[in-house]
């Protein structure tokens, strides 16, 4: 308060600057962790590429070619220097540029995650809001039960159950995904349906529960009670008095849901053999293809950190307390 | 019928198993202020809610009726109930900060009903709001409504809420402890305004409070509520001058006792503070503080919220960074932070917090709570410790059986007694009491004060007692120190500070503290 005379507080600008800096630091730390993590795995790229019958001499030669004989720290620094210039190196397994391997897969993953979010968010948030408004009703109890059920169920199991019922038994959808861009709209709608349904089922439980809690805490506040005493109708209380205040938690929840969706996408891609970034990363770990794993890790971390940042920023922007500085509080 | 705004007959409300209100009957006529007084848990809030036809979740009416403007509120349909609330009744709550929606500007919230009920345009609403804000003496009334709730002070918010209550020209306004969270000087302003607007409009009102002095200044009639039942009801003057029930007599006596303490013999200072500045981070919250605590005396530190009372107390206790000045204890200099003080000094300076709920570990039994300083400072264990524990509990008037209980099963007053016992276990020379009775009901407060005074007689103790309640100070302080905005405004023997205050601020504080005497508020209109 004392500082306001000399220094105009700019809470949002300060927030953006500090979060961008801490986000970049986190990204660098994450790349280091992934690097060390991959190095700790038994075996290396050379072994994975040449197979079990490789001669020690051939292994040695390949290691030298790939630069694997250098110390770990030096390899990391070389990689980091390249990454800072936008050069993520070449895939150790295929010899192609990492960006060339990554980009088509990234597009596929974004398509899957985007389609998932389009269905997941309205269903989960709408369900959560209705469960809170009708607290204690049969709807609320049903939502509570299904949420617990799907929270307790591993993601891959949901995928396999869907495949068993709709692909194997009924034959309505393919069980395996081929590149979705190959044949027209109808073809990729068919491919995407089961993975998207899986994502919605897995993701909704958490989001719905969080939304319900956020709305309930707003409904329990004194200003909602005050509106009730003023004789405001239930409908107006919910739409005008409660929901705007629940907006910032709901925004945070939505964006974090998208971040979690990215994690679920990895699992679902494996289950449906969907050619996305997640499947690429898991396959690359099997090949000890360090550069690709590293780039995938970086991308996932980037998405996660950006989403968290956006969640907090939007929450700030919709909250008058953060947007409008307190002034002349004492008079 | 029409002569009553509100008629409550034989109202009974129960929660799941317990009775919250029983056999409540009273009525309010137009132009009358009806006072309801009671301690926490008396059922005041449940009654206030019932007068607007609201029952909390889990509560149900088991008997009686609430008639507002001729309508039986608890029997109306939801739509009729909402319409009656919009047109006939308003509510002013204690915590204005929590009752305004943080998302909307004040003007919008205050005039919401004008838009809904009367279809007023934006411009008309702004004019309406400005008129009300002007009547309630809010600064810059034309633009006050453009502010968000977090941008104005607590006293201003409370006045904005009164403006909101006046908007629909209600027949009844319920004031539920509207000044409890305010400082005395702000409280006086709000009381004056309530008096003015209510009497000016001729609507009926209910004023709920735990402070008999405040109620006695506003109310035409008073009802005393305890454990959900009416203890006594009657015209304010009759009730104060001639209370019938024992409980009412205690309440009145509590307000009128002026047992000023005899000046104790002069003594040497045990704690002295010279030119001290201290605070959090680099900003000094208090500065230029010079102060002596005379051995064996009770020094009361008074001031409004934000004046730096607690910071000063915590600085002496070694919990705040010292920025400048010297702290002396028995003549030798004291390190600023408690970590750098030796165990013996720590033992001699004990601190009791305002909120015992936060100061007691809810998982520890009373034996563990009080036993710890015994072991640490006195080295007492086993039978010796047990013997001392029982003694300490007797000293603070708690049964020995409490030793095995946890704080959660005790009342507020009992918990504060445990905190006192814990401080005494160290056998301190100086006891710092930080608003130790502020969270307690008046009669419980009185009993804790009596306990402290008796303890002072029984052993050589020096006490620094921090409070915002001047009426309380008047009863037992030897010396008084008045703080404002981080500085000491006035200090001296209690008798002279109270009878002949030198500083304008001290005079204002004393003048703002409500008394029960007839015409106190009128004299300040």
> How far, in whole angstroms, is CA B129 from its chain's centroid?
30
Is residue B386 one of the residues assigned to a domain?
no
> How far, in whole angstroms, is CA A177 from its chain's centroid?
21
Q: Per-residue pLDDT tens for B338-376?
A: 889 999 999 999 999 988 888 999 999 999 999 999 999
**Are residue B276 and residue B310 in the same domain, yes or no?**
yes
Tell me the nearest-neighbour CA distance from A236 into chain B, angstroms. Answer: 11
What's the whole-number mean pLDDT along residues B135-156? Answer: 89
Across the interface, whether the CB atoms of A328 and B152 are under 8 A apart is answered: yes
Q: Find out whether A102 and A110 touch, Cβ atoms under 8 Å.
A: no
Domain count, chain A: 2
Across the interface, whether the CB atoms of A320 and B54 are under 8 A apart is answered: no
Average pLDDT in chain A? 81
Find the CATH number of the domain harbouring B489.
3.40.50.300
Under the banding of pLDDT at 50, 70 and 90, the label for residue A317 is: confident
**Are residue A277 and residue A294 in the same domain, yes or no?**
no
The two counts, helices (H) then strands (E), for chain B are 22, 20
Is residue A55 one of the residues assigned to a domain?
yes
Is residue B378 one of the residues assigned to a domain?
no
Q: Which of B217, B300, B287, B288 is nearest to B260 (CA)?
A: B300
Is residue A49 one of the residues assigned to a domain?
yes
**Are residue A87 and residue A184 in the same domain, yes or no?**
no
**Are residue B200 and residue B318 in the same domain, yes or no?**
no
Going from the C-alpha of B346 to that of each of A197, B248, B306, the distances in angstroms are 65, 43, 27
In whole angstroms, give the CA distance from residue A312 to residue A290.
Answer: 33
Is residue A311 one of the residues assigned to a domain?
no
Last residue of a domain, one of B213, B234, B256: B256
- Range list of H helices, B353-503: 356-359, 366-378, 382-395, 412-425, 442-458, 470-476, 494-499
**Are residue A53 and residue A169 in the same domain, yes or no?**
no
**Are residue A205 and residue A267 in the same domain, yes or no?**
yes
Is residue A78 one of the residues assigned to a domain?
yes
In chain B, residues with a C-beta closer than 8 Å to the C-beta of A232 are 82, 86, 112, 116
The pLDDT, as a whole number, for residue A228 is 92
- Tokens at B510, concatenated: 């004393």
In whole angstroms, give the CA distance from residue B159 to residue B138.
Answer: 8
Across the interface, whether the CB atoms of B93 and A331 are under 8 A apart is answered: no
**Are residue B192 and residue B296 in the same domain, yes or no?**
no
**Are residue A297 and residue A173 in the same domain, yes or no?**
no
Does the pLDDT of residue A3 top 50, yes or no?
no
What's the whole-number mean pLDDT along residues B239-261? Answer: 82
Q: Per-residue pLDDT tens for B36-49?
A: 998 887 888 889 99
What's the whole-number mean pLDDT along residues B299-304? Answer: 92
Structural domain of B136: 6-256
- Write the CB contacts of A274 (distance below 8 Å, at least 6 apart in sequence): A108, A112, A177, A191, A195, A268
In chain B, residues with a C-beta closer than 8 Å to the C-beta of A223 are 98-102
**Are residue A140 and residue A224 in the same domain, yes or no?**
yes
**Are residue A176 and residue A261 in the same domain, yes or no?**
yes
- Tokens at A216, concatenated: 């309930």
Best of A4, A6, A223 to substitute, by most chain B Cβ atoms within 10 angstroms, is A223
In chain A, residues with a C-beta closer than 8 Å to the C-beta of B59 are none
The pLDDT, as a whole number, for residue A141 is 92
Tell me the nearest-neighbour CA distance from A215 into chain B, angstroms. Answer: 15
Does the pLDDT of residue B439 top 60, yes or no?
yes
**Are residue B300 and residue B156 in the same domain, yes or no?**
no
The pLDDT, as a whole number, for residue B12 is 93
**Are residue A153 and residue A71 in the same domain, yes or no?**
no
Is residue B277 one of the residues assigned to a domain?
yes
Q: Are strands B283-294 and B430-434 parallel, antiparallel or unpaired?
A: unpaired
Is residue B383 one of the residues assigned to a domain?
no
Q: Find out whether B441 and B449 touch, Cβ atoms under 8 Å.
A: no
Closest residue in B to A227 (Cα–Cα): B99
**Are residue A20 and residue A125 in the same domain, yes or no?**
no
**Are residue B127 and residue B167 in the same domain, yes or no?**
yes
Closest residue in B to A225 (Cα–Cα): B99
Is residue B398 one of the residues assigned to a domain?
no
**Are residue B275 and residue B348 in the same domain, yes or no?**
yes
Angle between helical axes of A11-40 and A72-84 (0-180°, round to 10): 140
Across the interface, whether the CB atoms of A244 and B103 are under 8 A apart is answered: yes
**Are residue B13 and residue B91 in the same domain, yes or no?**
yes
**Are residue B145 and residue B233 in the same domain, yes or no?**
yes
Closest in A228, A241, A330 to B101, CB measured: A241
- Write the CB contacts of B108 (distance below 8 Å, at least 6 apart in sequence): B145
Is residue A65 one of the residues assigned to a domain?
yes
Does the pLDDT of residue A276 top 90, yes or no?
no
Q: Per-residue pLDDT tens for B268-280?
A: 889 999 999 998 8
Q: What percent of chain B has pLDDT over 70?
A: 98
Note the ipTM here: 0.81
- Tokens at B106, concatenated: 């004040």
Is residue B356 one of the residues assigned to a domain?
yes
Is residue B141 one of the residues assigned to a domain?
yes
**Are residue B251 and residue B275 in the same domain, yes or no?**
no
Last residue of a domain, one of B206, B225, B256: B256
The pLDDT, as a whole number, for residue A14 is 84
Tell me the nearest-neighbour CA distance from B490 into chain A, angstroms. Answer: 23
**Are residue A176 and residue A250 in the same domain, yes or no?**
yes
**Are residue A117 and residue A67 in the same domain, yes or no?**
no
Structural domain of A232: 102-286
Is residue B389 one of the residues assigned to a domain?
no
In chain B, residues with a C-beta closer than 8 Å to the C-beta of A2 are 283
**Are residue A272 and residue A131 in the same domain, yes or no?**
yes
Q: Are strands B298-302 and B479-484 parallel, antiparallel or unpaired?
A: parallel
């Amino acid at each position: 308060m004392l500082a306001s005379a000399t220094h105009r507080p700019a809470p949002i600008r300060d927030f953006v600057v500090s979060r961008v800096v801490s986000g970049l630091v986190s990204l660098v730390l994450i790349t280091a962790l992934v690097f060390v993590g991959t190095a700790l795995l038994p075996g290396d790229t050379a072994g994975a590429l040449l197979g079990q019958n490789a001669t020690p001499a051939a292994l040695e030669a390949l290691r030298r070619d790939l630069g694997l004989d250098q110390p770990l720290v030096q390899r990391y620094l070389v990689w980091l220097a390249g990454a800072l210039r936008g050069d993520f190196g070449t895939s150790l397994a295929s010899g192609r540029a990492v960006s060339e391997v990554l980009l088509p897969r990234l597009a596929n993953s974004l398509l899957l995650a985007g389609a998932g979010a389009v269905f997941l968010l309205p269903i989960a948030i709408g369900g959560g809001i209705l469960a809170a408004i009708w607290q204690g009703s049969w709807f609320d109890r049903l939502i509570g039960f299904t949420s617990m059920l799907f929270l307790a169920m591993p993601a891959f199991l949901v995928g396999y159950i869907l495949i068993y019922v709709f692909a194997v038994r009924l034959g309505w959808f393919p069980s395996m995904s081929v590149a979705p861009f190959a044949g027209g709209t109808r073809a990729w709608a068919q491919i995407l349906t089961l993975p998207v349904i899986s994502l919605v089922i897995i993701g909704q439980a958490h989001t719905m529960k969080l939304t319900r809690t956020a709305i309930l805490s707003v409904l329990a506040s004194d200003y909602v009670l005050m509106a009730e005493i003023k004789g405001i109708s239930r409908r107006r209380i919910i739409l005008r008095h409660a929901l705007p205040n629940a907006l910032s938690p709901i925004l945070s929840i939505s964006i974090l849901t998208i971040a979690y969706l990215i994690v679920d996408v990895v699992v679902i891609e494996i289950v449906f053999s969907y050619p996305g970034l997640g499947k690429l990363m898991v396959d690359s770990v099997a090949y000890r293809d360090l550069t690709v794993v590293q780039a995938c890790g970086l991308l996932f971390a980037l998405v996660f950190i950006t989403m968290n940042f956006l969640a907090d920023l939007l929450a700030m922007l919709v909250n008058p307390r953060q947007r409008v500085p307190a002034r002349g509080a004492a008079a | 019928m029409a002569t009553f705004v509100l008629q409550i007959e034989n109202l009974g409300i129960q929660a799941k198993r317990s009775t919250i209100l029983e056999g409540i009957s009273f009525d309010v006529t137009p132009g009358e202020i009806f006072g309801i007084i009671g301690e926490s848990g008396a059922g005041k809030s449940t009654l206030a809610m019932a007068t607007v036809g609201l029952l909390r979740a889990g509560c149900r009416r088991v008997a009686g009726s609430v008639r507002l403007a001729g309508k039986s509120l608890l029997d109306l349909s939801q739509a009729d109930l909402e319409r009656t609330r919009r047109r006939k009744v308003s509510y002013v709550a204690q915590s204005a900060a929590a009752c305004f929606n943080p998302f909307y500007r004040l003007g919008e919230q205050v005039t919401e009903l004008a838009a809904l009920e009367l279809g007023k345009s934006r411009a008309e609403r702004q004019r309406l709001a400005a008129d009300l804000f002007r009547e309630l003496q809010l600064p810059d009334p034309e633009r006050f409504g453009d502010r968000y709730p977090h941008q104005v002070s607590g006293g201003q918010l409370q006045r904005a809420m009164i403006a909101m209550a006046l908007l629909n020209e209600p027949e009844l306004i319920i004031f539920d402890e509207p000044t409890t969270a305010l400082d005395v000087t702000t409280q006086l302003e709000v009381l004056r305004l309530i008096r003015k607007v209510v009497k000016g409009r001729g609507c009926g009102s209910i004023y709920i409070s735990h402070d008999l002095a405040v109620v006695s200044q506003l109310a035409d009639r008073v009802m005393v509520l305890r454990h959900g039942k009416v203890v006594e009801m009657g015209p304010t003057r009759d009730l104060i001058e001639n209370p019938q029930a024992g409980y009412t007599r205690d309440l009145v006596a509590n307000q009128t006792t002026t047992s000023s303490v005899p000046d104790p013999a002069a003594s040497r200072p045990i704690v002295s503070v010279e030119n001290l500045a201290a605070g959090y981070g680099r900003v000094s919250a208090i500065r230029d503080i010079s102060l002596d605590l005379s051995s064996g005396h009770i020094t009361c530190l008074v001031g409004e919220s934000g004046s730096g009372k607690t910071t000063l107390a915590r600085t002496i206790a070694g919990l705040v960074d010292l920025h400048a000045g010297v702290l002396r204890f028995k003549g030798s200099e004291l390190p600023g932070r408690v970590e750098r003080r030796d165990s013996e000094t720590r033992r001699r300076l004990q601190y009791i917090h305002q909120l015992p709920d936060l100061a007691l570990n809810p998982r520890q039994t009373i034996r563990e709570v009080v036993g710890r300083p015994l072991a640490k400072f006195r080295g007492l264990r086993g039978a010796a410790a047990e013997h001392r524990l029982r003694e300490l509990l007797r000293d603070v008037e708690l049964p020995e059986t409490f030793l095995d209980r946890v704080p959660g099963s005790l009342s507020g007053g009992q918990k504060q007694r445990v905190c006192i016992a814990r401080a005494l276990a160290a056998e301190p020379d100086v006891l710092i009491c930080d608003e130790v009775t502020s969270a307690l009901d008046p009669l419980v407060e009185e009993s804790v004060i009596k306990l402290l005074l008796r303890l002072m007689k029984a052993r050589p103790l020096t006490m620094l007692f921090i409070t915002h309640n001047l009426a309380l100070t008047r009863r037992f302080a030897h010396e008084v120190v008045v703080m404002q905005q981080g500085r000491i405004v006035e200090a001296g023997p209690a008798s002279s500070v109270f009878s002949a205050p030198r500083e304008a601020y001290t005079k204002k504080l004393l003048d703002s503290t409500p008394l029960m005497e007839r015409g106190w508020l009128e004299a300040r209109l």
